[in-house]
């Protein structure tokens, strides 16, 4: 019952974040102007080293290994920062390693097992300006720590867990402009004796991007005399098949195997344990904000049906989501773009798929695509898209569903 209420709260929180801009946007304000909510928002991407001293002491007595595999490279993404005051912000984000900690050759009989660890946090960040450019900050707030342990021959050697802990941190921000900040960050989560969980610490560098309002005059000028095309509405249908493989999904989740190297690629997306044979999606997107040429923010809804690779079960997923779209090339007869959508609240009809517990029915949808708007009036759309469903390790059970490239055809209006 506790998990049921928790998943509802998380879903409602994210739905609130996704919809608040629409309700706060006055009708007479054009799409070229940010709402009051978005104008006080920012996001942040950081990469660095993560450290958690797992050892044989964490395992069930009688089980041990002499060697461990650990990759310290990790990321922290602030999906949404909101400035309550100029020097006080609320941040929602996640910390995770690029690859999981591994116990090698447990008991010298060939067992290799990984420990998955994620931390979602909601923290207050207080900044203390040192001069016009440099500021010191401190942050603190609750973190949802989830760990996926492992069994050997159906015997639990390191148990799964999920618990709430304190996250706190300190760092420096350097102001490059009104929009851009550079950051040096240190973040900590203390150990939990009760959950047999070591402490987590991370040191990272990255950037913050702060959204900025235009003047009303400039916003109306851009809306009345647009130089570049941005669709107000897009209706899309998509089809995907596993026959083309998961090469793109693996590369963009750093899971491509090259020789003896098992983690080649770029860690900007996710793969998933569960694979699909076929997928079909219907998607609608509506423009919420656009810049002069390069960027737009859409809100979308989708219905997706997919068939699992092992048992050929039919699963259905219903999602709402934000879409960040970046235009890469503008030409006479086409516009080329890439898009990215994260943590779209989703209801999925089954949580036990092919005998694997994927967590609650309330989960998240992530998509990434490369596409074109075609024709003189840009009435038609073609896109290549990959998809992923998981709860982002908010819960210990999070196998994840991987959907390979979908061929997407759309109509704008």
| Residue 67 exposed, middle or buried by CB count within 10 Å (0-12, 13-18, 19+) | exposed
- The Cα-based distances of 406 to 108, 233, 306, 326 in angstroms read 43, 20, 11, 19
Instruction: List phi, psi (to 5°) of 21.
Output: -65, -40
Q: Give the count of beta carbons closer than 10 Å to the beta carbon of residue 318.
A: 14
**Which pLDDT score, from 0 to 100, does residue 258 have?**
80
Q: Give the count of beta carbons closer than 10 Å to the beta carbon of residue 219.
A: 17
> Residue ranges of the chain with pLDDT lower than 70?
1-28, 260-262, 396
Strand partners, 381: 373, 410
Architecture of domain 219-412: Beta Barrel (2.40)
DSSP code of residue 197: B
Cα gap 213→210, rounded to integer Å: 10
**36-66 b/e (C-beta count within 10 Å ≥ 16 → b):** ebbbbbbbbbbebebebebeeebbeeebebe
Residue closest to 123 by CA, chosen among 107, 137, 104:
137
**Which pLDDT score, from 0 to 100, does residue 394 have?**
73
Q: CATH 2.40.160.20 region(s) of the chain?
A: 41-210, 219-412
**Which pLDDT score, from 0 to 100, does residue 57 have?**
96
Fold of the domain spanning 41-210:
Porin (2.40.160)
- The Cα-based distances of 198 to 158, 201, 341 in angstroms read 13, 10, 32
**Which pLDDT score, from 0 to 100, does residue 222 have?**
86
pLDDT tens string 119-146: 999 999 999 999 999 999 999 999 999 9
Cα gap 382→114, rounded to integer Å: 39
**Which pLDDT score, from 0 to 100, does residue 9 have?**
46
**Which pLDDT score, from 0 to 100, does residue 28 have?**
65
**Which pLDDT score, from 0 to 100, does residue 19 have?**
53
């Amino acid at each position: 019952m506790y998990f049921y209420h928790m998943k509802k709260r998380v879903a409602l929180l994210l739905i609130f974040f996704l919809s608040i801009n629409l309700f706060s946007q006055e009708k007479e304000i054009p799409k070229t102007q940010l709402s009051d909510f978005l104008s006080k928002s920012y996001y942040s991407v950081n990469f660095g080293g993560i450290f958690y001293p797992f050892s044989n002491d964490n395992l069930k007595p009688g089980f041990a290994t002499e060697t461990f595999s650990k990759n310290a490279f990790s990321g922290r993404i602030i999906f949404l920062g909101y400035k309550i005051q100029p020097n006080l912000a609320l941040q929602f984000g996640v910390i995770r390693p690029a690859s999981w900690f591994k116990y090698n050759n447990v008991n010298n009989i060939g067992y290799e097992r990984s420990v998955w660890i994620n931390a979602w946090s909601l923290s207050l960040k207080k900044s203390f300006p040192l001069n016009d450019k440099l500021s010191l900050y401190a942050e603190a707030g609750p973190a949802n720590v989830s760990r996926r342990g492992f069994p050997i021959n159906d015997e639990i050697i390191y148990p799964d867990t999920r618990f709430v802990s304190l996250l706190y941190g300190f760092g420096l921000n350097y102001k490059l402009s009104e929009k851009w900040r550079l950051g040096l960050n240190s973040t900590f989560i203390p150990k939990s004796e009760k959950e047999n969980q070591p402490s987590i610490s991370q040191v990272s560098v990255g950037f913050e991007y702060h959204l900025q309002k235009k003047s009303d005059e400039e916003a109306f000028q851009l809306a009345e005399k647009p130089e570049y095309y941005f669709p107000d509405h897009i209706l899309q249908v998509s089809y995907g098949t596993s026959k083309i493989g998961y090469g793109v999904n693996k590369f963009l989740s750093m899971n491509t195997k090259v020789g003896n190297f098992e983690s080649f690629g770029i860690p900007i997306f996710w793969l998933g344990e569960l694979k699909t044979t076929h997928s079909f999606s219907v998607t609608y997107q509506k423009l919420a904000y656009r810049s002069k040429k390069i960027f737009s923010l859409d809100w979308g809804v989708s219905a997706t049906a997919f068939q699992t690779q092992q048992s050929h079960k039919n699963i259905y997923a219903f999602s709402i989501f934000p879409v960040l779209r970046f235009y890469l090339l503008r030409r006479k007869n086409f516009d080329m773009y890439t898009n990215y959508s994260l943590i779209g609240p989703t209801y999925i009809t089954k949580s036990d798929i092919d005998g694997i517990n994927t967590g609650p029915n309330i989960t998240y949808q992530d998509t990434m695509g490369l596409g074109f708007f075609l024709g003189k009036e840009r009435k038609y759309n073609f896109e290549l898209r990959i998809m992923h469903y998981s709860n982002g390790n908010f819960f210990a059970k999070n196998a994840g569903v991987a959907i390979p490239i979908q061929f997407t055809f759309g109509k704008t209006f």
